Structures are given as C-alpha cells and as structure tokens.
C-alpha cells in the first residue's frame, strides 16, 4: 500500500501532464486562450479553497489579492527586473501575503456575514485605489512581456498548468500536515481547535496568508496572459462570483478548483455564443452554490464520495484487507489483537516509578504522584447569574474523578473555566504549575485536555488524521490499537463524516487521552451512547490512568457510569460543591439525595 499510493499519484499526474500537453498542441488558438483562462481561474479558486473551503472563513476579496499580484508583476515589468515571469510570479504571490495577513486580522474576531462585509469592503477599497492610480506601465502603453520560452500562448498555457500543479502539490502536502488538519478543524469548531492545543489566531492568519499568496500568483498569471491589466479585470463583484463558484465546485480539492475554473469559462462562452447577457452566468453559479450549501458538499466532494463508494463496493475481500477494514466487525477483527496487547497492564509514563508489580486489573491509584489538577476558588458569572461559586476540586494523578450535579448545577461552566474557555476568577494548576493565566490552547499544551458535550469532531478529517491532530504526535499502530476496535469501532482511514455520532464522541475521548495530558476533562462523553457502549467506555476509562498515565475528570449525568469508572466524586449544586468523596459515600449523602430528588441515587 505504501508503494501503491505514490504510484497511483504519479500515474494521475503523468496522465494530466500528457493531457495538458495534448491540449496545448492540438486545440485551436482561441480554445488554448480559453483553457488558459480556465487554469488561471483554477489557481484563484485554489486560493479560495484554502480560506473558505478548508478553513471555513468567508473571503470576498480574493480578486483584490489577485490585483496586488498583477500590480506587482506590472511594476516589476516596468522596472525591468530580470527573471521575467519565472521570478515575477512568485514575487507577486509574496507581495499579496502582507495584505492577506492584514485582512486576516479582523477574521480573528469576526465570522460569517460580518467577515464577508469586511472582506468585501477591503476589495472595494483596493478597487477604488487601483482605479484612481492605474496599473504600472498602462499610461505608457508598456505591456507585461513574456520571457523566451513562454512567448507563445501554447507555451504560456503550459506554464499556467505548471503553476496550478505546483500549487496543488503544495496544498496536498499542507493538507496532510498538522497545519492542514488545523484549518479543517477550524472550519468545524474554533473551540475544539483550541482544545487540541492549536492557536486559533495562528491557524486563521496562516490560512489567509497562504490564500493571498495563491491569489497573488493568479494575478501575475493574468497579467502575463493579458499583457496589460486594468482595475476592471479585478472588479470586486468578481470576488463574489469566485466565492460562489468555489463553493459550488468544492475548490478545497484541486479537481474542484479546475472544474470551477473550466465551468466559469465554459458558461460564459456558451452564453456569449447564444447572445445571452453574461450576468446570467452569475445566476447559474449562485444557484449552484445554494445547491452545494444545502447538500453540504460541492462537486469535488460529491465526486470523491461517489468514487470512494464505487471503489469500496467493487473491492474484493483481499483488497479490503490491503486498504483497511471498513465495517465495525472487520475493525474489531483487525484491531482486536492489538487492542488486547495494548490493554495488557504496563508501566504508565507518568507513574512508571511507582513501586510494586502491576496486578491484573489493579484498582486505580489515587495520590501516586503530584496532583494532576488543583482548582481553587473558581467563580464564573454571567451577568447577574453566578454559575460557579468558589469551587475547589482536586484530581490526583492516576485517578478517575467524577463531577456530577443536576441540570444547571454549573458543571459545564466549571469545565469551561478550568480549561480556559470562559472568563473566571480563581486558580487552576496542572501538575503543580499554574495555568489560569494561559489561553485555552496553551492550557491544552500544558497538559489539560477536554472534550465537549456537543459533537465538535471535524468531519473533514479521517480517523487517523483526527487522532494525530489532537494527540499532536505521530501515532503508532499500538496507539491506534488502544482506541480503535476496543473503544471506537472505526478504521484508521474512515472519513469522520461517515461515522455515527456515538463513534465520534468516543473518538473525541480517545483523542483527548492519546494526547497524553496530565488530566483529560471529559464533558458528558456517554451522552447519546447505547448501554453496551457506555459499559465499554466505563471499563476503558477506569484503565486509562494505569495504562496511559492520564488522570481523568469525568462529568456525567449517567451515575452508573460514574460509579463504574470513578473512585472519587464531587457533587455540584447551584454552583457550589455540596459533597465530595468515594461514590458510595457521596451518593448516600442526604444533601446529594435532595439535590437529585432521590430516585436514581437512592436505587
Ligand atoms: N452563557 C450563559 N449566559 C447566562 N447564563 C448561563 C450561560 N451558560 C450557563 N448559564 C447558566 O449558568 C448556570 C449553570 O449552567 P451550566 O450549563 O454550567 O450547568 P450544567 O451543570 O452544565 O448543566 P447541564 O447538566 O444541563 O449541562 C445555569 O443556571 C445556566 O442557566
């Protein structure tokens, strides 16, 4: 499989190179010009594929970045800088980066329609400035010259294809990197991204910077194609259309960007031949974008899903073994042996020096090291509502501790306060180090991981990509065996979008634990799970400190799970601790019985 994948990729690229060469050689000159326009649009759409497709931010100023690229190219041409378009093109991309970072700054606080307005305003401003000042060389009638080797349109078309391919390869590599995973996680949830230890501002700014670079490249290519550009070529309205096409075609994938570029040119050409005003093309793209948004996927994603399913249904049992198990039964068969190996008692990383041999299924050992988590006097207020009122809490290293309380008791507010997701008073220390002044992502890196009540697992990642992203380290088969098959029935290559909610919840728990923090704070991990899954989770959680050296703070409504997994419990009511200690004692406490109105705990 390791050899097959690069081989497949090489074959696809060789076929595309052959196709591009064939088109350049065989198409009539006019069609070569149109194909060139399609590829240049494709490069622009790739830039949108980063910021909007992957990172999920609305950007309506891509033509402004392209204009900066074209302006830079025209200026380098006027100055006669050696290297020609070979050098000017990357320089044009770089020139757009500072503006990308600048426009990324509002994105740190704004989302959705507000970000759309800001980016469109930026595009309009750039347009006004360019219209007032005109592009370098235009007044002197100085055209952007193409260097030898690119002079003919057929050659220049191949150059554009080369730039498109380079961008596609670069983005493919980024996609497989931590940065790419961060962008796709960002699209799903900023809070979950921060909880995985990734700084949201850095992820957003990097997406805008990379996107501006690519859009700048497309501007340079356009300058080389048209020889003389004017502000009208970068009309802000075109940024809107480009956004619609990117959504419609699914520009986060190279093939989507190419399809979008080709569609843009083809629809315009058909309308021109039919004598229909060009504005109708915008209606077509807007309708396509609405369809893609309603359906939840663009053309490239739909295409990939269809191909994956077709491939999956046609594969023989042997191929299934090679390409990875798909069904939960197959997953259990494949990962079961590794799981039993992983479940075998072994010295934990944090308690490796603990004396004495490990007995089979020994009880958890609270107090075997420094306290993993110490919370003192934490208060959370929402206006006049005091949600958490001076809570003290300790999770010993090597322990699974529970935090329970009736609805509205303040559990989630306390979790948010401890993990840095809401403003709070009080102190929080992890492994003896204070973390209460750190932002959420730095608390995560300091050893304080959390999960969420709502499903926030990024649908755009595969199981392996997600676990690697959250764990912040390369994962071995043994690491995956810890969680797949034994806890979450999924294969490493399964797209998260195709998993049920219960499996996603378990994966989120698995990711938080695989990160190897001092303490993993799990916010209602059993919500939505079946009885069998909940039992499995309880047994798994109970063994986590011993096997992985991770202490657990479990927030749960399912008191059976708390009894099964925890050796100490804290009960909150109206934002205050009303009882703490071993589950049997705590659940017999009259104050706790009163808080819960008796029934379940009395049973
Ligand atoms: N953003 C908010 N603004 C105002 N009040 C809030 C906010 N979030 C929570 N509260 C209030 O704070 C109190 C504690 O809520 P919180 O969600 O922390 O409780 P909980 O124990 O987690 O409840 P549940 O078990 O239902 O999730 C409740 O009275 C709730 O209405």
Average pLDDT over the chain, rounded to an integer:
85
Taking alpha carbons only, the member of 329, 327, 359, 324 closest to residue 344 is: 359
Residues 559, 538: contact at Cβ < 8 Å? no
Residue 109, classified by CB atoms within 10 Å of its CB into exposed (0-12), middle (13-18) or buried (19+), is exposed
* Measured CA angle at 353 (ends 347, 358), to 5 deg: 40
Report the Cα 563 to chain-centroid distance in Å. Answer: 35
- Say yes or no to pLDDT of 212 above 50: yes
Task: Identify the weakest region by mean pLDDT among 159-173, 257-271, 393-407, 473-487.
Answer: 473-487
SS3 track for 302-348: HHHHHHHHHHHHHCCHHHHHHHCCCCHHHHHHHHHHHHHHHHCCCCC
How many other C-beta atoms lie within 10 A of the C-beta of residue 411?
25
pLDDT of residue 359: 32
Predicted-complex ipTM score: 0.96
Give me the mean pLDDT over the 483-505 stretch: 82
The band of 306, judged by pLDDT with boundaries at 50, 70 and 90, is confident
Specify which of 209-223, 303-317, 539-553 reaches the highest per-range mean pLDDT: 209-223
- Say yes or no to pLDDT of 342 above 70: no
Cα–Cα distance measured from residue 564 to residue 566, given in angstroms and rounded to the nearest whole number: 6
Q: What single DSSP character describes residue 438?
A: S
Give me the mean pLDDT over the 115-122 stretch: 85
- Say yes or no to pLDDT of 601 above 70: no
pLDDT of residue 585: 92
pLDDT of residue 597: 58
**Complete edge-to-edge strand list for the sheet that includes strand 519-523:** 448-450, 519-523, 551-555, 400-404, 568-573, 576-581
N-term to C-term CA, the chain:
54
DSSP H stretches of helix in 83-199 = 84-107, 112-133, 153-176, 178-188, 190-195
Q: Is 410 in the pocket of ligand 1 (CB under 6 A)?
A: yes
Between 602 and 203, whose confidence is greater? 203
How many other C-beta atoms lie within 10 A of the C-beta of residue 588?
12
Three-state secondary structure call for residue 117: helix
Segment 68-80, tens digit of pLDDT: 999 999 999 999 9
Identify which of 411, 521, 525, 575 to mutate to test ligand 1's pocket (most ligand atoms within 8 A of the CB).
Answer: 411
Specify which of 86-90, 324-328, 501-505 reaches the highest per-range mean pLDDT: 86-90
pLDDT of residue 339: 42
Give me the mean pLDDT over the 293-321 stretch: 70
DSSP H stretches of helix in 380-496 = 411-419, 440-445, 463-471, 477-483
281: Cβ contacts below 8 Å, ≥ 6 apart: 241, 264, 267, 268, 271
Task: Identify the weakest region by mean pLDDT among 6-10, 114-118, 183-187, 420-424.
Answer: 6-10
Task: Identify the weakest region by mean pLDDT among 152-161, 213-222, 331-340.
Answer: 331-340
Largest pairwise CA distance in the chain: 90
Identify which of 191, 387, 578 to mutate to test ligand 1's pocket (most ligand atoms within 8 A of the CB).
Answer: 387
**Complete edge-to-edge strand list for the sheet that includes strand 371-382:** 385-396, 371-382, 425-430, 433-434
Specify which of 106-115, 233-242, 313-322, 588-597 reaches the highest per-range mean pLDDT: 233-242
Give me the mean pLDDT over the 122-146 stretch: 85
Report the Cα 312 to chain-centroid distance in Å. Answer: 25
- Say yes or no to pLDDT of 410 above 90: yes
Give me the mean pLDDT over the 553-560 stretch: 92
Q: From the CA of 412, how far away is ligand 1's center (Å)?
A: 7
Give me the mean pLDDT over the 59-73 stretch: 94
pLDDT of residue 119: 87
pLDDT of residue 330: 45
Q: From the CA of 381, how far away is ligand 1's center (Å)?
A: 10
Q: What single DSSP character describes residue 488?
A: B
Fold of 371-602: Rossmann fold (3.40.50)
pLDDT of residue 382: 93
Q: Is 422 in the pocket of ligand 1 (CB under 6 A)?
A: no
| Percent of the chain predicted with pLDDT > 90 | 51
Q: From the CA of 413, how far away is ligand 1's center (Å)?
A: 6
| Percent of the chain predicted with pLDDT > 70 | 88
Q: Domain extents for the chain?
A: 4-307, 371-602
Between 363 and 21, whose confidence is greater? 21
* Backbone angles phi and psi of 430, in degrees to 5: -115, 125
Gyration radius (Cα) of the chain, Å: 28
- Say yes or no to pLDDT of 324 above 50: no
Cα–Cα distance measured from residue 565 to residue 550, given in angstroms and rounded to the nearest whole number: 14
The residue nearest atom 25 of ligand 1, judged by CA position, is 407
The residue nearest atom 2 of ligand 1, judged by CA position, is 382
Task: Identify the weakest region by mean pLDDT among 46-55, 257-266, 390-399, 592-601.
Answer: 592-601
The residue nearest atom 7 of ligand 1, judged by CA position, is 382
106: Cβ contacts below 8 Å, ≥ 6 apart: 115, 118
Residues 69, 216: contact at Cβ < 8 Å? yes
- Say yes or no to pLDDT of 519 above 70: yes
- Say yes or no to pLDDT of 401 above 60: yes
Q: Is 407 in the pocket of ligand 1 (CB under 6 A)?
A: yes
Q: From the CA of 382, how far away is ligand 1's center (Å)?
A: 9
Specify which of 191-200, 293-302, 306-315 reaches the highest per-range mean pLDDT: 191-200
- Say yes or no to pLDDT of 314 above 80: no
Architecture of 4-307 per CATH?
Orthogonal Bundle (1.10)
pLDDT of residue 230: 87
pLDDT of residue 486: 67
pLDDT of residue 335: 44
Q: From the CA of 410, how far away is ligand 1's center (Å)?
A: 6
Q: Is 405 in the pocket of ligand 1 (CB under 6 A)?
A: yes
* Dihedral over alpha carbons 465, 467, 471, 474 (to 10 degrees): -50
- Say yes or no to pLDDT of 183 above 80: yes
Give me the mean pLDDT over the 493-518 stretch: 90
Taking alpha carbons only, the member of 138, 354, 107 closest to residue 232 is: 138
Give me the mean pLDDT over the 19-39 stretch: 91
pLDDT of residue 598: 54
The band of 492, judged by pLDDT with boundaries at 50, 70 and 90, is confident
């Amino acid at each position: 499989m390791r050899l097959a994948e690069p081989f497949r990729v090489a074959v696809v690229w060789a076929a595309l190179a052959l196709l591009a060469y064939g088109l350049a050689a065989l198409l009539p000159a006019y069609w070569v010009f149109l194909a060139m326009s399609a590829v240049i649009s494709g490069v622009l759409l790739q830039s949108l594929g980063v910021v909007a497709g992957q990172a999920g931010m609305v950007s309506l100023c891509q033509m402004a970045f392209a204009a900066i690229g074209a302006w830079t190219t025209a200026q380098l041409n006027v100055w006669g800088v050696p290297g020609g378009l070979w050098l000017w093109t990357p320089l044009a991309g770089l020139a757009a980066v500072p503006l990308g970072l600048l426009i990324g700054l509002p994105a740190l606080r704004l989302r959705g329609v507000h970000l759309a307005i800001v980016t469109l305003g930026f595009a309009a401003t750039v347009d006004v400035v360019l219209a007032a000042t005109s592009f370098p060389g235009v007044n002197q009638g100085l055209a952007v010259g193409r260097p030898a080797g690119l002079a003919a349109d057929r050659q220049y078309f191949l150059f554009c294809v080369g730039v498109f391919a380079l961008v596609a390869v670069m983005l493919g590599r980024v996609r497989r990197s931590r940065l790419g995973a961060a962008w796709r996680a960002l699209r799903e949830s900023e809070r979950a991204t921060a909880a995985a230890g990734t700084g949201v501002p850095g992820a957003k700014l990097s997406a805008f910077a990379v996107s501006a670079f690519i859009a700048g490249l497309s501007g340079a290519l356009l300058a080389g194609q048209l020889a003389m550009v004017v502000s009208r070529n970068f009309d802000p309205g075109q940024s809107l259309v480009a956004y619609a096409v990117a959504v419609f075609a699914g520009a986060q994938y190279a093939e989507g960007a190419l399809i979008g570029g080709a569609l843009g040119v083809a629809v315009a050409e058909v309308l021109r031949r039919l004598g229909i005003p060009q504005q109708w093309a915008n209606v077509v793209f807007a309708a396509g974008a609405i369809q893609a948004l309603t359906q939840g996927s663009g053309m490239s994603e739909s295409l990939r899903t269809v191909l994956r399913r077709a491939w999956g249904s046609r594969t023989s049992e042997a191929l299934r073994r090679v390409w990875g198990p798909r069904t939960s039964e197959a997953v259990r068969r494949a990962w079961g042996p590794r799981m039993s190996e992983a479940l075998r008692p072994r010295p934990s990383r944090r308690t490796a020096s603990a004396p004495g041999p490990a007995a089979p299924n020994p009880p958890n050992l609270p107090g075997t090291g420094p306290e993993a988590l110490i919370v003192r006097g934490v208060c959370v207020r929402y206006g006049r509502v005091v949600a958490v009122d001076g809570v003290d809490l300790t999770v010993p290293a090597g322990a699974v501790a529970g935090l329970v309380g009736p609805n509205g008791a303040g559990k989630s507010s306390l979790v948010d306060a401890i993990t840095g997701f809401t403003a709070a008073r009080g102190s929080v220390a992890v492994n003896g180090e204070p973390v209460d002044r750190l932002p959420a992502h730095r608390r995560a890196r300091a050893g304080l991981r959390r999960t969420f009540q709502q499903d926030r697992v990024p649908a755009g990642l595969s199981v392996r990509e997600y676990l690697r992203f959250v764990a912040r380290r390369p994962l071995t088969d043994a690491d995956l065996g810890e969680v797949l098959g034994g806890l979450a029935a999924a294969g490493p290559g399964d797209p998260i979008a195709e998993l049920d909610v219960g499996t996603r919840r378990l994966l989120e728990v698995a990711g938080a634990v695989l990160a190897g923090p001092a303490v993993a704070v799990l916010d209602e991990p059993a919500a939505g799970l079946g009885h069998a899954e909940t039992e499995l989770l309880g047994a798994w959680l109970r063994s986590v400190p011993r096997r992985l050296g991770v202490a657990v703070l479990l927030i749960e409504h399912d008191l059976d799970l708390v009894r099964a997994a925890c050796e100490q419990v804290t009960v909150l009511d109206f934002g205050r601790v009303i009882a703490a200690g071993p589950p049997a004692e705590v659940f017999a406490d009259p104050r706790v019985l009163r808080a819960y109105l008796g029934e379940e705990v009395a049973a």
